[in-house]
Amino acid sequence: MSKVLLQRFLDSVPAEFVKHLLERQLSIYQQAMHLAFDEQPWSEIEAITLMPYIRRALFESEFRKAAIQSGLKTHNSDHVAKNSTCVLVKAGGIILTGHCVEGPEEFVREAESRKQNAGVNKWLNHYVDSRWLTAPIPKLDERPIYINVLHGAWFSSRRTGAGTVDPASCFIRFAIPAADSNKYLAGCNWSAQELLAMYAPATAAEPTAKSIPDEAKPSIKKKA
């Protein structure tokens, strides 16, 4: 089933959207560190507190920008608690929201809004092979799917020391949460890199022309 869901993603979400987020991630994190720590009127302890909020705001803005540039629809949604907003991206029945987490397999922090969003995936828990039924069930391309776009990296907790963000630790993953919003569906947590590799057959650049060997024979003039 995960292969079918993966194909649904590839058919609905443009490669441009995935590539945009992957290319901008490190710059967003570095900008967040700069805005929080460098030449600010507050001390380092306040900067450590503020940095995740700045990072979230920058990523949400870029998330929206990536969607618009890729021709997708966006919606600014209020959290149930009315304490913040969230950018929803819609692509052919697929709904995506961005979340910063500690690791690629970590589940997003519990929130009522996320539970409600994940509720649209309830039908995936009971999806079965239609060949066993006397009446056909809805096809995968006819039902909505909610996906968490996970991102994160290792951040230095202080501005002193070697570096602020470790580029090698950056990750972006696209994961489908179960309807009960406490785990990801098996086989449905894909990295941005592997997704772009899946797009490759359809989006690869034209092959470069083969080099033509130089077979020209220089003409040597004889002295008179």
Instruction: List pLDDT tens digits, range 8-38.
Output: 899 999 999 999 999 999 999 999 988 988 8
User: At 166, is the pLDDT very low, low, confident or very high (cuts 50, 70, 90)?
Assistant: confident
The CA distance from 2 to 6, in Å, is 6
Q: Where are the beta strands (DSSP E) in 42-179?
A: 73-78, 85-91, 94-100, 145-152, 171-177
How high is the mean pLDDT of the chain? 77
| pTM for this model (two decimals) | 0.75
Six-digit token string for 128: 């079965």
* Lowest model confidence (mean pLDDT) among 49-53, 92-96, 140-144, 171-175: 140-144
For position 201, what pLDDT does the model report?
A: 63
Q: How many helices (H) and strands (E) does the chain have?
A: 6, 6
For position 205, what pLDDT does the model report?
A: 40
User: At 188, is the pLDDT very low, low, confident or very high (cuts 50, 70, 90)?
Assistant: confident
| Per-residue CA distances from 182 to 38, 64, 110, 177, 178 (Å) | 38, 26, 8, 7, 7
For position 137, what pLDDT does the model report?
A: 53
